[in-house]
Amino acid sequence: MSDLARFSINQMTVRQLSLPELTGACVELGVPGVGLWREPVREYGVEAAAELVRDAGLRVTTLCRGGFLTATDPDARKAALADNRRAVDEAAALGTDTLVLVSGGLPAGSRDLRGARERIADALAELGPYAGEMGVKLAIEPLHPMYAADRCVVSTLAQALDLAERFPAHQVGVTVDTYHVWWDDTAPAQIARAGAAGRIHTFQLADWTTPLPAGVLNGRGRIGDGAIDMREWKGYVDAAGYTGAIEVELFNEELWAMDGREVLAQTAARFLAHVIE
């Protein structure tokens, strides 16, 4: 088994590559898995993308992303549920069993975090069974608390699991992403809780570097550049029984300005140096 056996490159890390460029580079560099994003996949065509990755012998480790389930407006809510059903369909078509969910922020003018979290639960009650039928697991991703207002009212693994545990594990679990949980001293125990119930549906890596850029979206650090001990976090998911893929997902303007194939090669090398070896 290659040391890259569990490595997966999240498409966002090398978004400058077209899908054929990405799959080609993966084959060439011995990268076995990819985490795909809906927008570029739909642009290329879902069926065509599925064929492309299948022909390349790649495993699609996740589809990113569904979610945004916090709207109060009935029409917006209905549209969000329909869009999430489509995301489940796309995941199934791509041959991945995991759809990452980013829950959504507060509706404009709202200050009701609790209500927003409850609307996510209501939405999961509809989406979970549908996903289960399609063989797709929903992976609620707690995002760093700095996104609580505008992107994701689910800020901790404990909150994500409180939501997920209302449903069977094959319907709803969690995403563990080091970037979002590294500061949280309760996260290791929550990873154990998630693992014991078979609810770690994906494990993603990005490093924490400062200063954060304006808007705090695109400053995720390359593995090894920041404050996060990657081996420590891999140790937690290992101990919790997680044996799946490990995705590196970086939103980083500097990396996007580089040659994408070079970024992929470097990311794989850093994965080996800081996570595996």
Q: Which residues bind a second copy (CB under 8 A)?
A: 106, 110-114, 117, 144-146, 148-150, 155-156, 158-159, 182-186, 208, 210-216, 226-229, 232
Please provide the DSSP assignment of 59-72 as one string. Answer: EEEEEEEEE-----
- Torsion over CA of 241, 244, 246 and 251, rounded to 10 degrees? -110
Which residue lies nearer to a second copy by CB, 38 or 151?
Answer: 151
Question: Given the complex with a second copy, which of 12 and 230 has the nearer CB atom?
Answer: 230
CB of 195 to a second copy, least distance (A): 21
Among residues 144 and 222, whose Cβ is nearest to a second copy? 144
* Minimum CB distance to a second copy, residue 47 (Å): 37
Cα separation of the two ends of the chain:
14
Amino acid type, 267: T
State how far Cα 239 lies from the chain centre: 20
DSSP state of 104: B
Closest approach of Cβ 108 to a second copy, in Å? 10
The residue (of 32 and 226) whose beta carbon lies closer to a second copy is: 226
The angle at the Cα of 65, spanning 242 to 215, to the nearest 5 degrees, equals: 105
| Closer CB to a second copy, 155 or 267, in the complex | 155
In a 13 Å sphere around the CA of 132, the CA atoms on its Cβ side amount to 13
Q: Which is nearer to a second copy, 214 or 257 (CB)?
A: 214
Considering the complex, what minimum distance in angstroms separates the CB of residue 50 from a second copy? 36
* Minimal distance, residue 242 CB to a second copy, in Å: 21
Q: Two tokens at 222? A: 């390359």
* Closest by Cα among 268, 249, 259, 260 to 13: 249
